[in-house]
Amino acid sequence: MLAALPLCAQVPAAVPVPSQFATAHTAFLASGSAPGSGRNERFIAQVVYSSVYKSLSTAGHYHLVSAPADAELSMVVSTQSHVSDVMGGDSPFEALLRLEIYDVKTHTLLWALDEQINSMFREKTFQKNVDQSVAALMVDLNALASGSVPGDTTPTKAEPSKTRLSNE
Which CATH code of 3.30.160.670, 1.25.40.10, 3.90.110.10, 3.30.450.20 fits the domain covering 20-145?
3.30.160.670
- Across the chain, the runs of DSSP E, i.e. the strands, are 7-8, 26-31, 63-64, 73-83, 93-103, 108-117, 160-161
pLDDT at 167: 45
SS3 state of residue 4 = coil
- Count CB neighbours of 52 within 10 A: 24
Q: What is the pLDDT of residues 133-158, one digit of tens each?
A: 999 999 999 999 999 999 865 444 44
Q: What is the pTM of this model?
A: 0.75
Q: How do the domains of the chain map onto residue ranges? A: 20-145
Q: Which residues, at least 6 apart from 84, have a Cβ–Cβ distance to it below 8 Å?
A: 90, 91, 92, 93, 94
Q: What is the pLDDT of residues 74-95, one digit of tens each?
A: 999 998 875 444 445 555 456 7
Q: What is the pLDDT of residues 22-77, one digit of tens each?
A: 999 999 999 997 666 566 777 888 889 999 999 999 998 899 999 999 999 999 99
Query: Cα(113)–Cα(110) distance, rounded to whole angstroms?
Result: 10
* Cβ atoms 150, 144 nearer than 8 A: yes
